[in-house]
Structure 1
Amino acid sequence: MSKKGVSAEEKRTRLLQLFYEKGECFQLKELEKIAPKEKGIVAGSVKEVLQNLVENGLVDTDKIGTSIYYWAFPSKAFTLRKNQMQKLKQNTEETINKLKAMEDALQAVKNTNDDNSYANILEELNDKEMELSALKNQLKHYEENDPVKFKEMLDKTEELKNAANRWTDNVFAVKSWCKKKFLMEDAVLNKQFGISDEFDYVD
């Protein structure tokens, strides 16, 4: 039964969990039946939530024959969030360094009593402070990937590995089904799904 007041972020999280837990490919109509029962997501909002996940690279999609299928790798979301966190930290460090340089320049201008230069640097300094504040807010948004939380995520590596291998089982099963259903060659299926020739179970 669906619940009222579920936020958009919570819907995305729940739908993504559904992919990880099932380890299968789905069509939209299938998700619209399963998601309300198992994850409390209103059927009418499944398409919008799914599209958001696709746009953010967390869910993959492709057309096979006349049908569109959706799937998600547990490890992909983990890697994506890790990269986002690293990029945000790098941007923050760069902004902090720029801010420090501006503060040094500001102090130098104060010492020369150059009012015009002081005003210009003060304005730029304020801009950098706003940029830093925005980056810190972004970091807060990804706080689940901070050093402490990140360790907790690493502790769940085994769980993610099992989920990934369960997905691998299903990939091979779906490929086998597609070969029979659509008479498609293995190489064509790999290209359709974006699967490399080295695709295999996670050790």
Structure 2
Amino acid sequence: MIRLTSKTKGLSREEKRTRMMEIFLVTKEVFQLKDIEKIAPKTKGITPMSVKEVLQSLVDDNMVDCERVGTSNYYWAFPSKALHARKRRLEELDEQHTKEKQRKMSLQLAVDKAKVGREETEERASLLKELQALREKRSLLKTQLEKYRECDPEVIEEMRKSNGTAKEAVSRWTDNVFAIKSWAKRKFGFDDGRIDKAFGIPEDFDYMD
């Protein structure tokens, strides 16, 4: 016979599971969902809204068996079944704990290994200072190298070629401007001053030397 238990508010999920398992283990009977929905709230203080969810969690963990017959589901759990399920669960948790422990040890070894050679010693401080000085010297040499590079014959030759190309382009545009001015004078009879003013051409506009 099921012993009545006073209703308790705020039961945890695990407490609900434990109390529901007591229904099966004490009675050793087979129930339908509607039976559990009546018994669990009255005798175990499990809220009606959570009965189905708690029962399904026990089925999912293989602590309660479920079989569909016709249109109804039947639930049962005998002591041997529950004992076997708990034993398997404990083995899983123990295995998980062992793996986590090994992982923690591996991480600790990795941390300890990473610390080797990084202890604060006078020698390490001196080496770090020397390294910083070398970095600063390298930066200074790089800056000086960029300055001296301006005198590099290859760089000068490249600049000369670029200047020559630019000068040729300017000369072509100068030819075009003078050609347009010549055409405008013939076509409209404008003098140079009027044309220069109209097109914004400087008075000293001429070919580059």
Q: TM-score with structure 2 length normalisation?
A: 0.46
Q: Which has the larger radius of gyration?
A: 2
Q: TM-score with structure 1 length normalisation?
A: 0.47
- The structure, 1 or 2, with the larger RCO (C-alpha pairs under 8 Å, 6+ apart) is 1
